[in-house]
Amino acid sequence: MLESLAHQQDHLDTLYRAMADRRFLVLTGAGISTPSGIPDYRDREGVRRGKAPMMYQEFLATPQARRRYWARAMLGWPRVRVAQPNAAHRALATLQQRRRISGLITQNVDALHDQAGSQEVIELHGSLHRVLCLDCQQRSQRDAIQHLMETQNPYLAGVDAVQAPDGDTLLDPAFEARFEVPHCPHCNGERLKPDVVFFGENVAPPTAAKAMAAVEQAEGLLVVGSSLMAYSAFRLCKAMVELGKPVIAINLGKTRGDELLQVKIEGSCEQLLPLLADRLQ
């Protein structure tokens, strides 16, 4: 325990020295939300857990694929909806309110940074709390679409499915065949999609540009809970290094950007970030 506390103090000192006189941009990944009960995609070696998620091209290709996606997602949404920000989310909101960080980019789609009080969060991969119609481009609140699905598919009430990342579940295919896909409340189209960036889909150009502008304006980058395996996040680290600015990571396990990091801290962000917020008054 004493060694653990000593390591924690060393980590805190390292972060404080780097960030005391510079305003870092913060980039967060799935690791910051796992203490809130939301599973992550990868293990400590950066290897994806379980089966691959649905690709964007597959989702677009057939009504059957969309039926499979929404049947599983209907059962996964309640856990995302009730998830609460943890101490790490709240610490980052505090640091932003004190103007100790320059901004916040997240790869997560759970909206927990918003719920913790962070402002103007750049959602690199969108949010599960919104649903986009691919036919009329109108957005709906996920809770409204959830109500539609639960009303149309009462046979799934009480079905237990193992939670997977990003509101997905591991549902027995036998439950998928009779699932009624929700239609858009605006145009009655059946091509509804969660307002998130699927695997195989590109980040929206305005979002990517906003993230890169935040990199250019910051004095360093703090990566929290991300393996950086998604290129949309890795490229921000590369850009920061090319600008001659430091990149620090708090992450349990391997990252794609290990060779780019000035410092890597294998510690708990839920423990370290509140201590850092206390120190950076």
Q: How far apart are CA 65 and CA 197, in angstroms?
A: 16
Q: How far apart are CA 141 and CA 122, in angstroms?
A: 19
Q: How far apart are CA 248 and CA 113, in angstroms?
A: 20
Q: Is 7 a catalytic residue?
A: no
Q: How far apart are CA 228 and CA 144, in angstroms?
A: 33
Q: How far apart are CA 214 and CA 120, in angstroms?
A: 11
Annotated binding site: 107-110, 133, 136, 184, 187, 225-227, 251-253, 269
Residues 6+ apart with CB under 8 A from 56: 198, 199, 200, 201
**Proportion of the chain in helix, strand, coil states, percent, rounded to 5:** 45, 15, 40
Q: How far apart are CA 231 and CA 124, in angstroms?
A: 11
**Taking the chain, what is the end-to-end CA distance rounded to the nearest angstrom?**
27
Q: How far apart are CA 201 and CA 5, in angstroms?
A: 42
Annotated binding site for Zn(2+): 133, 136, 184, 187
Catalytic residue among 11, 89, 113, 125: 125
Q: How far apart are CA 157 and CA 176, in angstroms?
A: 13
H or E stretch at 219: none
Using CA atoms of 45, 51, 56, 59 in order, give the dihedral in degrees to the nearest 10.
-170
Q: How far apart are CA 119 and CA 136, in angstroms?
A: 29
The CA-CA-CA angle for residues 54, 140, 162, to 5°, reads: 40
Q: Which residues are catalytic, by number? A: 125
